[in-house]
Amino acid sequence: MEYVSALLPPVVMAAFFIALVRVIVRTQGGAAKAKEDAAVDAALARAEAARQTTPSQPDA
Q: What is the pLDDT of residues 13-46, one digit of tens each?
A: 999 999 999 998 888 877 777 888 889 999 999 9
Q: How distant is the alpha carbon of residue 32 from its chain centre?
A: 14
Q: Is the pLDDT of residue 51 over 90?
A: no
Please determine, for residue 60, whether its predicted confidence score (pLDDT) is greater than 60.
no
What does the alpha-carbon distance between residue 10 and residue 3 come to, in Å, rounded to a whole number? 12
pLDDT at 3 over 60: yes
pTM above 0.85, yes or no: no
